[in-house]
Amino acid sequence: MVVTEENIWQFLEEVSDPEVPVLSVVDLGVIRRVKLEGDVVFITITPTYSGCPAMGTIEADIFKKLEEEGFLKVKIDMQLSPAWTTDWLSENGKKKLLEYGIAPPVESIASPTALFGKEPQIACPQCGSKDTKLVSQFGSTACKALYTCNSCLEPFDYFKCLN
Amino acid sequence: MIQTEINHESVREHIQQFSAETRAQLFQYVLQLADTSLMLSHRLAEWCGHGPILEQDIAMSNISLDLLGETRSYFQYAAELEGKGRTEDDLAYLRVATEYKNPLLVEQPNGNFADTILRQFIFDSYHFHFLKELQKSSDKHLAAIAEKSFKEASYHIKWSSEWVIRLGDGTDESHAKMEAAIKNLWQYSGELFMPTETENLLKEAGIAPDLSVLKTQFDEYAANVLKEATLELPEKVFMHKGGKLGIHSEHLGFLLSDLQYMQRTYPGLQW
């Protein structure tokens, strides 16, 4: 069987984000490029947040997956620019997030220096109500903010916008 | 044989464009940036488990982590610039106090929550504008790190500015604590904008931002927030300096004894 770059993308679909396991690294938008030269695979990835502790695990998981699929020469390159944005989350990924109970990113915060500005209305992933309240811009992981639903009173994570 | 590796070739190629002299200056400059984010990241991490409420405890850990990410990018770049085989960990953990080049502000102790908020506000008001300018650097790798970290710093400046207003324009007690914090910490704000010889040389080369431009942006931004917070700056403040040249306050030694403990006690220890 001739292996193509397309096949490698499919294998990467099976590597999940260690912190949000319903997302694959492809859904997350961190795989920038896949190149096959002879029997060497070159993969370019980009970090979501620069301090994201999942990046090391993602690299290790990619190496492991490709080794299982028979690729013994793999090189991973880290690219910072252009910087990752939540616009790179796939549509499928956003759907999976919602089903998992995490509200997908909607729109960016107003200008960062516009203080106490109006925050975007986020629908509760549990009951769908739009009557929700931002508790903190900083949540359980670097990529999430913490909200509470005023209707069903449940707290929930919002995958915050970065663009 | 399995050959899997993280590829560093693009950074190695990138630094070839610089002369040995520029590379040496850049090494010093990038270390200064790395040390600055590292120390503040460490200070914020000291709050972990001690925050006034859970959400703010988490906020400080998040900001700490973002700064740690930024500092790692700088240290990795510095290690390549030096080219002597030292790694990011060697640079972060195995230097002596006088070799660290962070400004004095970021090594100041946490104090109470108001002190931490004010230190963060001074830093964020500088850092946000700094990263905005650094994106224009002729050093494309530094510009890329800035582009990445700027997005994160946007959340930081919003957080600390809102807290300055909430506490300053809050109760009598929170207002008094913010006033005391200004008295303690404003004297460390000036050093951020006092250029070292290296910063001047790299500014000429189009690599480092012009600190006098940043100072104007900082003054204007901070004045607006402090006004909203009903807080006033003292008229004349003596500005301390030295950190960027390796002359530190006594606090750095204590900080390093914590930060370096593991690597000094168990050299080469890894997770």
**DSSP letters for B193-249:** GS--HHHHHHHHTTSS--HHHHHHHHHHHHHHHHHHTT----SS-PPP--GGGT---
Could A136 and B154 be called an inter-chain contact, meaning their C-beta atoms sit closer than 8 Å? no
Closest CA to B59 of B168, B162, B178, B129: B162
- For the segment B50-74, what is each residue's pLDDT rounded down to a tens digit? 999 999 999 999 999 999 999 999 9
Say yes or no: B155 contacts chain A, CB-CB below 8 A: yes
Alpha-carbon distance B167 to B117, whole Å? 9
Residue A37 bridge partners (DSSP): A40
| B56 at A interface, C-beta within 8 A | yes
pLDDT in tens, B240-268: 999 999 999 999 999 999 999 999 999 98
**Cis ω before A105 (30° cut-off from 0):** no
Burial of A3: CB neighbours in 10 Å, binned 0-12, 13-18, 19+: middle
Reduce the DSSP state of residue B33 to 3 states and report it.
helix
Tokens of residue B21, six digits:
């002299």
Q: How does pLDDT run across B125-181, given as a tens digit for each residue? A: 999 999 999 999 999 999 999 999 999 999 999 999 999 999 999 999 999 999 999
Q: Would you tell me which residues 180-239 of chain B have a C-beta closer than 8 angstroms to some C-beta of chain A?
A: 221, 225, 228
Report pLDDT digits (tens) over B91-102: 999 999 999 999
Considering only alpha carbons, which residue of chain A is nearest residue B4? A74
Of B66, B144, B161, the CB nearest to A142: B66
Residues composing chain B: 271
Task: Place A109 in a pLDDT band, splitting at 50, 70 and 90.
Answer: low
What is the C-alpha separation between B99 and B35, in angstroms, rounded?
10
Q: Measure the CA–CA gap between B72 and B68, rounded to whole angstroms.
A: 6
Residues from chain A contacting residue B67 (CB–CB below 8 Å) = 51
Q: Which residues of A touch B45 (CB under 8 A)?
A: none
Between residues A17 and A112, which one has the greater pLDDT?
A17
C-alpha B67/C-alpha B40 separation (Å) is: 8
Q: Which residue did the predictor score with more confidence, B189 or A142?
A: B189
**Which residues are bridge partners to A146 per DSSP?**
A136, A157
* C-alpha Rg value of chain A to the nearest Å: 18
Sheet holding A40-45, edge to edge: A31-37, A40-45, A73-78, B3-7
Among residues 112-141 of chain B, which lie with CB inside 8 Å of chain A?
128, 140-141
- pLDDT at residue B235, as a whole number: 85
Q: Which residues pair with A156 in a beta bridge?
A: A147
Interface confidence (ipTM) of the complex: 0.87
Would the pTM of this model clear 0.90, i.e. be above it?
Answer: yes
What's at B174, amino acid-wise? S
Mean pLDDT of B183-201: 98
Count A/B contacts: CB-CB distance under 8 Å: 123
Percent of chain A with pLDDT over 70: 94
Output phi, psi for A7, to 5 deg. -60, -40
Q: Which of B7, B73, B147 sits opposite A77 (nearest CB)?
A: B7
Predicted pLDDT at B6: 67
Residue (of A72, A88, A81, A94) closest to A31 by Cα position? A88
> Are residues B269 and B127 in contact, defined by beta-carbon separation less than 8 angstroms?
no
pLDDT digits 0-9 by tens, B81-94: 999 999 999 999 99
Q: What is the pLDDT of residue B8?
A: 75
Q: pLDDT at position A142, please? A: 86
Residues of chain A contacting residue B145, judged by C-beta atoms under 8 Å apart: 50, 80
Contact A80 B165 (CB under 8 A): no
Instruction: Give the integer Cα–Cα distance in Å for A103 and A134.
Output: 12
The token pair at B236 is 């004349």
Residue A27 CA, chain-centre distance (Å), reads 7
The mean pLDDT value for A96-115 works out to: 80
* pLDDT greater than 60 at residue B2: no
Spatial separation of the C-alpha atoms in residues B210 and B220, rounded to whole Å: 16
B62–A67 CB contact, under 8 Å: no
